[in-house]
Amino acid sequence: MYQIGDNIAYPMQGAGTITDIQHSESGEETESYYILSLPFSKMNVMIPVSSSGKVGVRPVISKDEIMQVMKTLGEETQPMPSNWNRRFRENTEKLKTGDIYVVAGVVRDLVRSDRNKKLSTGENKLLNNAKQILESELVLAGGITLDEAETMVLDHI
């Protein structure tokens, strides 16, 4: 179980800090919820403690793992379907895994794709979401600013 003050990553939302653990009673059952503050989207999210593992909640990466993420950003682009709708669905599924290295791969591939040919509006939103997920975790893991994280990401692609 995580504690107040722990930094965790939440798939499709990004990384944040647990600011509270609340308990809600429904009939005879009591459910506990992590209150996760996501500073970059300025949201608070309630995550049921009992299902946090099932939905992919995990600790943020360590400082040592940041360099592995940067290495992933510099790797060769993975082939993507030519149909934008299929590409969008595949990349969305990848983001849902919550795996930071998979998220980094999505950011890398979409940034490079955008450099070659402008992304569709939907893919551009997906890229921005993926970058937010990646950069929010880098900020909390590395103790850096959002601008530094953004520069770091783009410099390694």
Rounded Cα distance between 126 and 81, Å, is 16
What's the pLDDT at 26? 83
Q: How high is the pLDDT of residue 6?
A: 98
Cα–Cα distance between 20 and 37 in angstroms, integer?
9
0.85 exceeded by the pTM? yes
Q: Which CATH number fits domain 6-59: 1.10.600.10, 3.40.50.720, 1.10.1660.10, 2.40.10.170?
A: 2.40.10.170
pLDDT at 41: 84
Residue 142: predicted pLDDT: 96
Q: What is the pLDDT of residue 16?
A: 97
Intervals of the chain under pLDDT 70: none
Predicted pLDDT of residue 39: 85
Output the CA–CA distances (angstroms, integers) from residue 69 to 50, 62, 81, 102, 120, in the order listed. 29, 11, 24, 9, 26
CATH superfamily to which 63-156 belongs: CarD-like, C-terminal domain (1.20.58.1290)
Domain boundaries, the chain: 6-59, 63-156
Residue 154 has a pLDDT of: 96
